[in-house]
């Protein structure tokens, strides 16, 4: 017997199953394996029942009726077939096999004869020892592998490749640098996004497995590549950091649950997990579909983040309903007590203004078109901020942590007005400005407020608070002609 919680050999076998590709075309089977094996490893195998499996692993609603819906039984029949196939071929010589007996859902881990690897006891009730006749040994081994495969599923689904523990940076990486960007699932090298940010390959992790979905459409971002691979399962990150204060951004996009995703079912409540930073729970229950929708980029932001006494930032993801996952990690230098200003210009490249502040190229936007304006803006402290413009029916989703914020919109009218290409005058362009659905101003008129065309206008709104999902949802809603904006600045007013 092995001590409770000591499943080294079993977890290793699960990793082999997940990396084998046997379940690549059936992500729901991988989900089942992951779920039941995780429950087993956690010592809660008694909770592995048909109703719980349907609701927690397959995303069925709370009114699931197992008498009318045989989805769990059908899926486990398919899973047993896949595991048997695996252990008759690639996994035949493995020391431990996963087996899910007929009529049961609790995984059994069976040891091949002569390996010296023990079989962990089942949780619900002692089971008789399995004695294998020579001619039937391969059959039991195949079944045992099935169970182990289940665990692997929990650690990784579809296109899954189990990754070895990597807690140190690859050659050439510099631990403790001021900015760290990690792309989960990137095996080697780096990825440079359209904004010029360099994302390092996956590192500093322990546990979990990788899912890759190249080409999968992701809404709400100009960088879908950040969300087309993920680490999932039972995993953590221990990232070395120099002493100091940082901002942390965790990137997520749900690409399994949802009608248009790989599972083809499920929605709100299909997946939920907690997030801990250095042992402190910062999110009790994170439901990506519930907060952002399926296949949509979602960023959680944390300020005042510092390394633990051992010099590392410890990130843990706690399963609640099915397995946790993560797409990317972004750590940047911070300011004690406040989020650093978020500055965005409606231009394709970053900009450094006359005061030395860096403005990010246009992002977080849905709707509208970005154009370049050649007319010089009068009375502008920094005319370069007005060289680009986004116009249309505009919506910006800016992720921030809890707090109070000031929002400044930089605008200049260079199309409408007397002697301008579009003609007209005051009242020619009107739009509403809303934040999180609340109107900040109605019928906003740039010409009237700026005193004419080609004049810089900075309009500031104070005391804005993010919604419950940690976002400032900025909407510029046209009333007459299109809305426009040249730059956006968000500053933390928290005390």
Q: Provide CATH 2.60.120.430 ranges for the chain.
A: 163-333, 342-492
**Which CATH architecture fits 342-492?**
Sandwich (2.60)
Name the residue among 17, 21, 50 with its Cα closest to residue 36: 50
List of residues 6+ apart from 410 with CB closer than 8 A: 385, 386, 456, 457, 458, 485, 486, 487, 488, 489
Residues 323 and 317: their CA atoms lie apart, in Å, by: 9
- pLDDT per position as a tens digit, 139-159: 443 443 333 344 344 333 344
Mean pLDDT for each 10-residue chunk of the chain (495 residues)?
63 77 73 83 88 80 83 90 90 91 91 49 35 40 39 40 50 55 95 91 94 92 94 94 97 90 78 96 96 95 97 96 95 96 94 92 92 88 93 96 97 90 90 97 96 95 96 97 97 91
Q: Alpha helix (H) ranges present in 8-136?
A: 8-20, 27-41, 50-52, 71-88
Residues 265 and 193: their CA atoms lie apart, in Å, by: 31
Report pLDDT for 262.
66
Report pLDDT for 23.
77
Report pLDDT for 167.
55
What is 163-333's CATH number? Answer: 2.60.120.430
Report pLDDT for 393.
97
Report pLDDT for 448.
96
Report pLDDT for 243.
95
Name the residue among 253, 250, 162, 273 with its Cα closest to residue 208: 162
- pLDDT per position as a tens digit, 159-178: 444 445 565 544 333 444 48
Report pLDDT for 16.
77
Q: Is the pTM of this model over 0.85?
A: no
């Amino acid at each position: 017997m092995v001590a409770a919680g000591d499943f080294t050999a079993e977890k290793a076998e699960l990793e082999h199953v997940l990396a084998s590709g046997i379940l690549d075309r059936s992500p729901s089977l991988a989900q089942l394996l992951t779920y039941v094996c995780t429950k087993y490893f956690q010592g809660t195998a008694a909770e592995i029942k048909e109703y719980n499996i349907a609701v927690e692993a397959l995303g069925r609603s709370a009114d699931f009726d197992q008498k009318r819906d045989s989805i769990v039984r059908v899926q486990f029949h398919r899973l047993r077939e896949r595991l048997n196939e695996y252990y008759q071929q690639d996994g035949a010589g493995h020391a431990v096999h996963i087996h899910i007996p007929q009529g049961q859902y609790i995984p059994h881990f069976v040891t091949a004869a002569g390996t010296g690897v023990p079989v962990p006891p089942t949780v619900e009730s002692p089971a008789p020892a399995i004695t294998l006749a020579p001619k039937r040994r391969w059959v039991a081994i195949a079944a045992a592998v099935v169970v182990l495969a289940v665990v692997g599923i929990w650690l990784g689904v579809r296109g899954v490749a189990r990754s070895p523990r990597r807690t140190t940076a690859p050659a050439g990486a510099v631990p403790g640098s001021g900015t760290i960007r990690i792309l989960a699932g990137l095996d080697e090298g780096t990825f440079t996004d359209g904004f010029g940010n360099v994302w390092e390959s996956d590192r500093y992790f322990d546990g979990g497995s990788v899912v890759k979905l190249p080409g999968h459409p992701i809404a709400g971002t100009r960088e879908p590549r950040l969300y087309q691979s993920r680490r999932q399962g039972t995993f953590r990150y221990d990232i070395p950091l120099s002493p100091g204060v940082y901002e942390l951004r965790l990137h997520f996009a749900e690409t399994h649950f949802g009608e248009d995703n790989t599972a083809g079912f499920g929605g709100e409540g299909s997946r939920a997990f907690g997030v801990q930073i250095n042992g402190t729970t910062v999110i009790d229950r994170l439901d990506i579909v519930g907060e952002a929708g399926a296949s949509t980029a979602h960023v959680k932001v944390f300020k005042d983040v510092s390394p633990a006494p051992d010099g590392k930032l410890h990130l843990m993801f706690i399963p609640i309903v099915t397995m946790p996952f993560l797409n990317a990690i972004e750590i940047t230098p911070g300011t004690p007590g406040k989020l650093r200003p978020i500055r965005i210009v409606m231009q394709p490249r970053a900009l450094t203004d006359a005061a030395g502040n860096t403005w990010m190229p246009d992002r977080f936007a849905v709707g509208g078109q970005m154009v370049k304006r050649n007319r010089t803006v009068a009375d502008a402290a920094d005319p370069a901020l007005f060289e680009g413009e986004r116009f249309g029916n505009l919506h910006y989703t800016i992720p921030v942590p809890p707090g109070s914020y000031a929002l400044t919109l930089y605008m200049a009218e260079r199309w409408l007005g007397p002697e301008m290409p579009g003609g007209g005058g005051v009242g020619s362009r009107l739009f509403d400005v809303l934040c999180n659905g609340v109107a900040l101003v109605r019928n906003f008129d740039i010409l009237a407020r700026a005193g004419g065309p080609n004049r810089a206008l900075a309009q500031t709104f104070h005391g804005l608070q993010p919604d419950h999902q940690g976002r400032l949802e900025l909407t510029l809603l046209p009333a007459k002609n299109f809305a426009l904006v040249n730059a956006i600045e968000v500053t933390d007013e928290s005390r």
